[in-house]
Structure 1
């Protein structure tokens, strides 16, 4: 079993041993997704996936092949009433893609790109801290997307649970929290929140009043992402000062798309930087001829890195189009996994001298930067014959 961390809150486990138990760091929250890729054995009877916390089974997902149904339930002080779907999208001997999308309503269950069911919350989702997989199933990938968050968290709870928590997430775990036992935010009221970054730390002001100073634990120069999560309505975000002209809108420093449509296009918040990594999970449809992934400069239309699997001739072409002119193609690869009907995960890592491309956990090729400086890259596009399950960076 292998595991790695990507953007904050993104955790990937490859080839987990079943039964599997994993921690959901920071607990479950609205907007998160859990992604599974696996295969159904020929002799399967059933398997189940549980989201658990505090000794309760908050969400029980249980395909039963002998009865050709999927059972959903919750176990809190005993099993509750079952909810059933009397058909199964899982087939013996076949691979599958399963996604749980966490919403304010419940858990949206999607199998192989189609919505199957929404299981409404019976227990607060914030209670979930454990993912468990049991039974006759082979899992190749388990991904928890949009998880842990550091920074500032407001808890407008009941009784004494009224506070603002400040923290840092580093080396896979939270550090010691700093707490202010005061709530400057009021339900139903607008607010203005300002972070002033100094050599000492982050001065937090709420509604024009100094609220707290959170001292640096990580060099501020390493910060390249802004993420806002939870139950809040944001009207505007302004980043001003420093070496940039600022940014308005709700953009985050990393991007995640679950079941994105084709063609896919997204700006890269903060632009391309050394060590930035892109994860693209998808499937090559039947009768697919080709698809392409382009890393671009939005202002000029230059394609800095063109990654182009061509199923019709079995090649994977890499190239650049600078100033309207295509360069020389590169075609040598260590292996080529792109075949009709096959699932894949592409990991593209940007280094100082080159892009490194890994597919399904194996090195495929490198591509030396032709655009100088590569930091001009600020856009990602994916198009043509491909089905996407998620894009993360």
Structure 2
């Protein structure tokens, strides 16, 4: 299976380990979403080249909170930062962007560090997570035109999908549903219409999918049961395949929707509206 066809991992058990299909590439982004356990003493995120470790990120909670990052090939000099954005019991999103010169690490959408390669990144072949952390998502995708979304995730939210969609593209929406919601709408748009309008409708207790083309709506696809819960966390991952979208809700595959608008590269806007508070969006 080629990298661009690789599905995300949902709710994997820890320790977690997976080969990286095709190895690392310039412009690849690894997204890790989870929660540090309340009794955590440490957890680690590693990129491996066989028995060598190309990047070791370790959060420790023993005496002082700190993050260490290093490479091992007869371990190099250790770099430490004596603060951690990973609070015990809290949700986080960690992303590693691979560039020709370094790994650019961001946490909760804020740049954290730029770590220059000590081992060739193209030789890295596996990814590992260990320690006191619960994972809900691990995703690999190419992001050659990656641009950080706006700093505020205020709803209504709109962001450009740079380069448009393609087979293997992953859209991530994370947040909290309001206690008395009416509707939420997640739309993938192009300049002439809406390729996918995905709408949990709490007033009808149904999820509706549809497409808007040539000035009119198509035939609705409606389904029950409702996988979204009032007042609870929300994690929606839309995986764009060659022939359809696959929508995962809180780690479970919930819906599929065949492409009606097939010029995927023209679908370049993510629009989110309704009764949701957003904490993280990857367009």
TM over 0.5: yes
Match of 2:95 in 1: 99
After TM superposition, give the deviation of residue 347 of structure 1 in Å. 3.1
After TM superposition, give the deviation of residue 328 of structure 1 in Å. 7.5
Q: C-alpha distance in 2, partners of 1:104/1:327?
A: 44
After TM superposition, give the deviation of residue 342 of structure 1 in Å. 2.6
Residue 39 of structure 1 contacts residue 96 of structure 1 at CA under 8 Å; is this kept in 2? yes
Does structure 1 residue 346 correspond to structure 2 residue 237?
yes
Residue 319 of structure 1 contacts residue 328 of structure 1 at CA under 8 Å; is this kept in 2? yes
Residue 110 of structure 1 contacts residue 116 of structure 1 at CA under 8 Å; is this kept in 2? yes
Residue 28 of structure 1 contacts residue 127 of structure 1 at CA under 8 Å; is this kept in 2? yes
Match of 1:13 in 2: 9
After TM superposition, give the deviation of residue 292 of structure 1 in Å. 3.5
After TM superposition, give the deviation of residue 72 of structure 1 in Å. 1.0
Cα gap change, 1:316 to 1:104, in 2 (>3 Å): same
Match of 1:251 in 2: none
Cα gap change, 1:123 to 1:343, in 2 (>3 Å): farther
Alignment of 1:157-306 (within 5 A): 259-261=148-150, 263-266=158-161, 268=164, 279-284=170-175, 292-296=185-189, 298=191, 301-306=192-197
Residue 178 of structure 2 contacts residue 230 of structure 2 at CA under 8 Å; is this kept in 1? no
Does structure 1 residue 30 correspond to structure 2 residue 26?
yes
Matched residue SS, 1:263 = strand
Q: C-alpha distance in 2, partners of 1:53/1:351?
A: 31
Q: For structure 2, list consecutive stretches of 5 or more residues without a partner in the other structure.
A: 151-156
Q: C-alpha distance in 1, partners of 2:169/2:70?
A: 35
Matched residue SS, 1:132 = strand
Match of 1:75 in 2: 72
After TM superposition, give the deviation of residue 46 of structure 1 in Å. 0.4
Q: For structure 1, list consecutive stretches of 5 or more residues without a partner in the other structure.
A: 147-253, 271-275
Q: C-alpha distance in 2, partners of 1:350/1:127?
A: 27
Give the one of 105, 110, 116 matched to 1:109: 105
Match of 2:37 in 1: 41
Q: C-alpha distance in 2, partners of 1:314/1:343?
A: 16
Larger radius of gyration: 1
Give the one of 84, 88, 97 matched to 2:84: 88
| RMSD after superposition | 3.8
Q: C-alpha distance in 1, partners of 2:144/2:99?
A: 18
Residue 334 of structure 1 contacts residue 365 of structure 1 at CA under 8 Å; is this kept in 2? no
Matched residue SS, 2:122 = helix
Give the one of 370, 376, 381 matched to 2:269: 381
Question: Which has the bigger relative contact order, CA under 8 A and spacing at least 6?
Answer: 2
Greater share of strand residues, 1 or 2? 2
Cα gap change, 1:64 to 1:307, in 2 (>3 Å): same
Deviations 1:202-243 (Å, cap 9, x if unpaired)? xxxxxxxxxxxxxxxxxxxxxxxxxxxxxxxxxxxxxxxxxx
Report the number of matched residues. Answer: 268
Q: What TM-score do you get using the length of structure 1 for normalisation?
A: 0.56
Residue 282 of structure 1 contacts residue 388 of structure 1 at CA under 8 Å; is this kept in 2? yes
